[in-house]
Structure 1
Amino acid sequence: MNTEKQFYVSPRATKIMRIFWKAAGADHYLLQQSTYGDQIKYVCLGGIIIATGVMAAIAGGYAFYTIFEPKGNAIDSFRTVSGIAGNYDQTHWPTALKALVFGLIWGLIIFNIDRFIVTSTGKGDGTEAITKKEFVGALPRLVMGAIIALTISKPVEIRMFKTEIDVALHEKQIQQQQSYKANIDSVFNGQISKKESQISPFLERLKQLNAIGDTLQGRINYEISHGGCSDKCQEFKQQFLKNDEAKNAIKNDPEYLAVKQQLDDLEKTRKQKLDESDKVAAGLDGLLERIKLAHEKAGWVISLFITLLFMTIELTPIFFKLMLIKSPYDYMEENVKELLKAQQGIEIKHNYYPEKEGIERDLVINHEVIRVLKEKIQILETQSELSATAIHSWKEKKKEDIAGNPENFIKEDQA
């Protein structure tokens, strides 16, 4: 009869749980043998990390879309995109697809940073209390987490208050447009007035000649209607032709033509600049301006609350790990690490020696490295001894050869 009984069987982990464990950087092999409490702790930890990555992807994609979407009036029902009128509320799909790709990449970046921050954060002293030393050690990770929380919270904030931001932005766009038009008018009106004063005498003379021409044409018509064109009618026609010649002389005057051309160019340039007022006002619709308006409309309290909310989500895993009480999983993990070190011949003597500043340091002894090093030293020493023996034997043999046949080693000079 088998009397051995397992007093506890670890729950079977689902595929979703293993994904969350992997996100939290936990060892799924050890967790499968650990308690249900340990399994749930790392599921929650991984869930927070994955959720942060998803939120970062959404926020990053929305920020990218806000920056690169076609600009226009903030509350107009229609805007023109590449010359084609379209509904403002409709999605601009080319930009949306780019934003989707960017959002996925950004989410993965934040996910990996978060995962590194959490997995590199130790468990402190194994108690619920967060000591000053633990907090100082985690401070760089807390700063990085706070920065990540800010990058996530701002795009979400401007999306939450989009309606209020659009109204306020529309008012600023109108003010920007009016201010731009006033500046353009102030720049061009002085130059146009100067050219108008130069061309005014020519225009006045043309006006007079036009009036004279109209009078002469009326008299000619009167004479023709009352008996045909008499001598007096011919005289009126001669005067009419001279009047036309005078008008043509003015119209072909080089000074008149030059001033008229300059005036036309100024009017054309002024009209082009005024037509750009919509584009200038639309340029105000940027991410930075929307963030400013979100702060103005929401107020610093609500804005701070949203930021703190995302900071809480982002920093919770770090504080969570510092507050964890050691559990069976932690002891099994430490056991595996010690076994691996022992298997590789690594010995650590904790607080073995103080450094110059008085801080206790661990002594790490790599026995496998020492063994290989000793073997290498012995091989080199043996090779050195063998080389010395070979050289000595070669020397003795050469001496015997010289003693037997010295003439083979000495050549006399012949005159």
Structure 2
Amino acid sequence: MKKVTDFFWFCSGAHVDTLKKYPTEHNKYVGIGATIFFTALFASLSGGYAMYFVFSGSNAAVFFAIFFGLIWGLAIFNMDRYIVASIKKTGGTNHQIVQALPRILLAIMIGIVISRPLELKIFDKEIRQKLKTSYLNGQRSKIDTLNKAFTEKYSLELTKLQGLKTEKDSLEKDINRSRYLLNQEVFGDKTNQTSGITGYGTYAKQKEVVVTQKEQRLIQVRNELDLVDKIINTRKEIEGLNSTKLFNETQLDSLSSVAGFADRNYALGQLSFNPDGSRDLDTYLAISFISFLFILLECLPVFVKLMSDKGPYDVALQNIESVATHQSFKDKDLEIVVTDNVFDTRNEAETDKHKTLVRRKVKRDLEEE
């Protein structure tokens, strides 16, 4: 337990040698250090999970996830440790709040950043289903857009194709009806359109000619219909209309599995809304509470430091810092005095040297004269 305690003291950013002298402060800084450590641990998991999706499908995805997770966790750990250690208990309450406010805002931002990837993992099944629906709707919209563009581009050909189909259907019905009348004429059935004379007579021959003409026209229409249909199918192949189809279940599973971080993040945001666009309050609150939980976890060390009373460790640390600051100023003043003395000594030496050189020059001039 001593090693665990020392480790959490290190995590809290406390001055361990000073903290050991005050047992009443030990548990407080163990709690602060443990909170900082587990926040960094969650940040490491969150960053690693996010990076895994960035390199999803690559053989090195796991390696990059572990590497980035460790780097991200250490960065958050160092930042949290600095935030907590930099809050001093020397001033009043208002001064401490003003001092901690930028750190709280930074902690909130960190909490939001580390909570998002973990939310993606928690709601993984719901996100996959939402992605399937989104991909299916997107494919359906793409097909509708292609069909609309194709209809506008080849409106004449499509109109002609529809006209030929209508004529073909009409001819087939008319031929069936004319054959029925021909049979009635041959067998002598008396109606308002038959003579009632049995046998293959004049009226039967006339009706047979009409049937033959309609059959010939039907053959011609079918040939034209096949030709136009082939032309349109060729155009559909060129425009990519035939190759664009709705995704099946297997394809949707594959697409949702390799979805990137942006798509999954968008799907998570859409979970808070119903298909009609209204707010799904239950899902919205569930996602929000998870975010609030990580934000609170990130801010907790700062809040603990602010809410705790000024203890003997804080007083001792303040005294140590004051003594160190005072000693630093004394050392600086002493350095300035020493520097000035050295400067003065150097000036005197240079002056004496200059005087000696002048005397030698004057003496040399006199001897020459």
Give me the TM-score of the superposition, normalised by structure 2. Answer: 0.67
User: Residue type matched to 1:274 in 2?
Assistant: T
Which position in structure 1 is the counterpart of 2:318? 334
Task: Call closer, same or farther: CA 1:401–1:28 in 2, change over 3 Å.
Answer: closer
In the alignment, which of 110, 115, 123 is matched to residue 148 of structure 1? 110
Which position in structure 1 is the counterpart of 2:349? 386
Q: Determine helix, strand or coil for the equivalent of 1:326.
A: coil
Task: Call closer, same or farther: CA 1:64–1:390 in 2, change over 3 Å.
Answer: closer
User: Residue type matched to 2:270 in 1?
Assistant: L
Task: Call closer, same or farther: CA 1:405–1:307 in 2, change over 3 Å.
Answer: same
Once residues 142 and 359 of structure 2 are traced to their aligned partners in structure 1, the CA distance between those partners, rounded to angstroms, is: 105
Which residues in structure 2 correspond to 1:96-245 (within 5 Å)? 96-123=62-89, 125=91, 131-191=93-153
Q: Determine helix, strand or coil for the equivalent of 1:286.
A: helix
In the alignment, which of 26, 30, 44 is matched to residue 43 of structure 1? 30
In the alignment, which of 361, 364, 369 is matched to residue 398 of structure 1? 361
Q: C-alpha deviations, 1:282-319, integer Å up to 9, x for none?
A: 66871331331243355433333222222221111111
User: Residue type matched to 1:388 in 2?
Assistant: T
Q: Determine helix, strand or coil for the equivalent of 2:89.
A: coil
Aligned length: 288
Which position in structure 2 is the counterpart of 1:270? 240
Q: Is the 8 A contact 2:46 2:114 kept in 1?
A: yes
Once residues 347 and 303 of structure 2 are traced to their aligned partners in structure 1, the CA distance between those partners, rounded to angstroms, is: 60
Which position in structure 1 is the counterpart of 2:292? 308
Once residues 399 and 405 of structure 1 are traced to their aligned partners in structure 2, the CA distance between those partners, rounded to angstroms, is: 10
Which position in structure 1 is the counterpart of 2:18? 30
Once residues 66 and 294 of structure 1 are traced to their aligned partners in structure 2, the CA distance between those partners, rounded to angstroms, is: 20
Once residues 297 and 39 of structure 2 are traced to their aligned partners in structure 1, the CA distance between those partners, rounded to angstroms, is: 8
Once residues 68 and 242 of structure 2 are traced to their aligned partners in structure 1, the CA distance between those partners, rounded to angstroms, is: 37
Once residues 124 and 165 of structure 1 are traced to their aligned partners in structure 2, the CA distance between those partners, rounded to angstroms, is: 49
In the alignment, which of 289, 303, 317 is matched to residue 266 of structure 2? 289
User: Residue type matched to 1:59 in 2?
Assistant: S
Q: Is the 8 A contact 1:22 1:28 kept in 2?
A: yes
Once residues 124 and 367 of structure 1 are traced to their aligned partners in structure 2, the CA distance between those partners, rounded to angstroms, is: 23
User: Residue type matched to 2:331 in 1?
Assistant: E
Task: Call closer, same or farther: CA 1:124–1:275 in 2, change over 3 Å.
Answer: farther
Give me the TM-score of the superposition, normalised by structure 1. Answer: 0.60
User: Residue type matched to 1:111 in 2?
Assistant: F
Q: C-alpha deviations, 1:136-161, integer Å up to 9, x for none?
A: 22110010000011112222223222
Once residues 281 and 142 of structure 1 are traced to their aligned partners in structure 2, the CA distance between those partners, rounded to angstroms, is: 40
1:165 CA drift (Å) = 2.8
Task: Call closer, same or farther: CA 1:399–1:167 in 2, change over 3 Å.
Answer: closer
Which position in structure 2 is the counterpart of 1:360? none
Q: Is the 8 A contact 1:124 1:323 kept in 2?
A: no
Q: Calculate percent identity across the aligned residue pairs.
A: 26
CA RMSD of aligned residues (A): 3.4
Whose strand proportion is higher, 1 or 2? Answer: 1
Task: Call closer, same or farther: CA 1:178–1:392 in 2, change over 3 Å.
Answer: same
Task: Call closer, same or farther: CA 1:162–1:286 in 2, change over 3 Å.
Answer: same
Q: Is the 8 A contact 1:23 1:115 kept in 2?
A: yes
Once residues 294 and 155 of structure 1 are traced to their aligned partners in structure 2, the CA distance between those partners, rounded to angstroms, is: 15
Q: Is the 8 A contact 1:24 1:45 kept in 2?
A: yes
Whose helix proportion is higher, 1 or 2? Answer: 2
